[in-house]
């Protein structure tokens, strides 16, 4: 049986971490550019990289929220394609998994 209490706590902690990091990234992304045009080019490049990181964080946060929703609905750990139980080892490695290994491979 899957220990959803521990998984839910870990997911909630990771989500809080992501939200804090995204808030800091937003502050950095909204910071005004330097008056020096040469420095602005570097800052714009940095902001592009930060925007990419923020996008990855947003995607992970969405997956975590979906997993938390499945836990709340009692559907966590069930493959969305075949309906079989996703092995605990897979969920331990990827707590947001929605597919069993057989369905991932096919």
- Cα–Cα distance, 100 to 87 (Å, whole number): 7
DSSP 25: H
The model's pTM is: 0.82
Mean pLDDT over 57-69 rounds to: 98
Mean pLDDT of the chain: 92
Over the stretch 11-57, which tens digit does the pLDDT of each residue have?
999 999 999 999 999 988 888 877 777 777 788 888 889 899 999 99
User: What is the 3 state secondary structure string of 47-99?
Assistant: HHHHHHHHHHHHHHHHHHHHHHHHHHHCCCCECCCCCCECCHHHHHHCCCCCC
- Cα–Cα distance, 96 to 66 (Å, whole number): 8
């Amino acid at each position: 049986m899957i220990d959803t209490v521990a998984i839910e706590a870990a997911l909630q902690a990771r989500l809080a971490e992501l939200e804090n990091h995204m808030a800091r990234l937003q502050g950095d992304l909204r910071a005004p550019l330097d008056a020096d045009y040469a420095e602005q080019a570097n800052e714009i490049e940095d902001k592009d990289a930060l925007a990419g990181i923020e996008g990855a964080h947003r995607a992970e946060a969405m997956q975590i929220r979906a997993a938390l929703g499945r836990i709340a609905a009692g559907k966590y750990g069930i493959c969305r394609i075949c309906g079989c139980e996703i092995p605990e080892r897979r969920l331990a490695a990827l707590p947001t998994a929605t597919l069993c290994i057989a369905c991932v491979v096919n």
